[in-house]
Amino acid sequence: MYLLELGGEDDAFAAREASSGAADVRRIAPGLAVAKAVAPERIRGLAYTHRASKLLGRTDADPASARALLETASIDREGTVAVRATDVHGSSGVDTGRAERELGQILVDRGFEVDLDDPDHVLRATFSEGALESGGGLEAGKATGDLFASEPDDTLEKTVSVCALGWLAAESVRDFGSRAPTDKPFFQPGSMDPLLARAVANVAGARPGATVLDPMCGTGGVLVEAGLVGADVVGTDAQAKMVAGARENLGHFLDSDELSSVGVERGEWHVARGDATRLPLADDAVDGVVFDAPYGRQSKIETHRLEDLVSGALSEACRVAPRAVVVADRSWAGEARAAGWELEAAFERRVHRSLTRYVLILERR
């Protein structure tokens, strides 16, 4: 079993992204999840998971319980160690510096040498308290695992207090700041934040050997992130200016023989001018589609009413790929179903007073 430390504001969405690199992901407390298995090279490319650790055990979020857990846990490691503790969102009030020292002392008592600078093994000690919701739109209805299965009355929220200890196994690469939309060679308002772009690319199946399409690619934000985790990427946009700009950005971030920071070869890329409602692609040409539907007021909509554009793009996406992820300022779930998709999950987050962001995860029916 592995412990996942989630990031971002929406644990349900973070857990959904994590399942692109881990098996049987289940949330156990705010900011924390467990998984039956992880692919370390995929964890490196996740946006909303910071770390995966081999779970040593879990108990209540108080230092005495954590010490008792570590004193009795079976430890199959040799070499130097360091303990790093986190109080998720400051929720448990645990003094993390003290917890690190106390847990470190237990490891010393058990025969380990501490090396804070360059340890062979890092023990993560995570403390979290709070309401555990199964939230995340439709995913709520799908929540499974013993946590919810043990609640026959369907109570979907309960208060939990968790300390989970685990040996650090993989960390995600936090270099998103270097790809802020305004720092890219080509920038336009409405460009997607690289963290969200990476997450939706991962959910759509971006990985070495897969091909991901963004039929309304704009500045190429999603394609850059998909390419950096090793997917081959294809983009179209109705505006020549965007096609030229996306090419500039993709060339800048993906045209290098070096491994990307996540440790895989960068994917190949192609961008062409095209209409998302009439894609120049064969049936089943790609593995996943991602698009960020125009918000009506901010993006130029070429020749279509917004409703027709999104419906047409959803139909074409369903023809060329078995899976899609759609980001938008409204749900579009009805249009997605009408276009042949099944809604696997939907996430909704209020960004500010006049903007709620929807993320739909679609599987071909």
Ligand X SMILES: C[S@@+](CC[C@H](N)C(=O)[O-])C[C@H]1O[C@@H](n2cnc3c(N)ncnc32)[C@H](O)[C@@H]1O
Residue closer to ligand X by CB (options 170, 243) is 243
213-232 positions binding ligand X, by CB under 6 A: 215-216, 218-219, 221-222
Residue closer to ligand X by CB (options 48, 127) is 48
Q: Is 309 in the site for ligand X (CB under 6 A)?
A: yes
320-341: burial string, b at 16+ Cβ within 10 Å, e else: bbbbbbbbbbebbbebbeebeb
Answer for which of 38, 106, 294, 315 binds ligand X (CB under 6 A) is 294
Work out how close the CB of 355 gets to ligand X at its nearest, in angstroms, rounded to a whole number. Answer: 12
Q: Is 304 in the site for ligand X (CB under 6 A)?
A: yes
Report the DSSP beta bridge partners of residue 361. Answer: 325, 345
Work out how close the CB of 307 gets to ligand X at its nearest, in angstroms, rounded to a whole number. Answer: 12
Work out how close the CB of 250 gets to ligand X at its nearest, in angstroms, rounded to a whole number. Answer: 12
Q: Is 335 in the site for ligand X (CB under 6 A)?
A: no
Report the DSSP beta bridge partners of residue 127. Answer: 87, 163
- Residue 15 CA to residue 354 CA, distance in Å, equals 27
C-alpha gyration radius of the chain:
22
Give Cα 197 distance to the centre of its chain.
Answer: 9
Answer for which of 302, 333, 337, 348 binds ligand X (CB under 6 A) is 302
Q: Print the binding letters for residues 165-204 with ligand X: x by CB under 6 A, - otherwise.
A: -------------------------xxx------------
Q: Is 292 in the site for ligand X (CB under 6 A)?
A: yes
User: Measuring CA to CA, how many Å separate 10 from each of 162, 211, 221, 362?
Assistant: 18, 27, 21, 19
Residue closer to ligand X by CB (options 238, 359) is 238
Answer for which of 285, 301, 333, 343 binds ligand X (CB under 6 A) is 301
Alpha helices in the chain (DSSP H): 11-18, 40-43, 63-72, 96-109, 139-142, 146-149, 194-203, 221-228, 240-254, 306-320, 333-338
Query: Which residue type is seen at 84?
Result: R
Answer for which of 49, 96, 126, 299 binds ligand X (CB under 6 A) is 299
- Residue 204 CA to residue 206 CA, distance in Å, equals 6
Residue closer to ligand X by CB (options 240, 282) is 240
Nearest to 124 by CA among 164, 170, 173: 164
Answer for which of 15, 83, 103, 238 binds ligand X (CB under 6 A) is 238
Q: Is 249 in the site for ligand X (CB under 6 A)?
A: no
Work out how close the CB of 349 gets to ligand X at its nearest, in angstroms, rounded to a whole number. Answer: 17
- Residue 89 CA to residue 25 CA, distance in Å, equals 21
Work out how close the CB of 118 gets to ligand X at its nearest, in angstroms, rounded to a whole number. Answer: 39
- Residue 122 CA to residue 119 CA, distance in Å, equals 7
- Contact (Cβ atoms closer than 8 angstroms) between residue 339 and residue 305: no
Tell me, by CB under 6 A, how many residues bind ligand X: 25
Segment near ligand X (CB under 6 A); pick from 31-39, 137-145, 212-220, 317-325: 212-220
Q: Is 316 in the site for ligand X (CB under 6 A)?
A: no
Answer for which of 300, 350, 353, 365 binds ligand X (CB under 6 A) is 300
Q: Which residue has the tokens 């959803």?
A: 314
Answer for which of 204, 276, 339, 345 binds ligand X (CB under 6 A) is 276
Residue closer to ligand X by CB (options 113, 187) is 187
- Contact (Cβ atoms closer than 8 angstroms) between residue 163 and residue 16: no
Q: Is 325 in the site for ligand X (CB under 6 A)?
A: no
- Contact (Cβ atoms closer than 8 angstroms) between residue 294 and residue 216: yes
- Residue 188 CA to residue 309 CA, distance in Å, equals 21
Residue 109: count of CB within 10 angstroms of its CB: 10
Binding site for ligand X (CB under 6 A): 190-192, 215-216, 218-219, 221-222, 236-239, 242, 275-277, 292, 294, 299-302, 304, 309
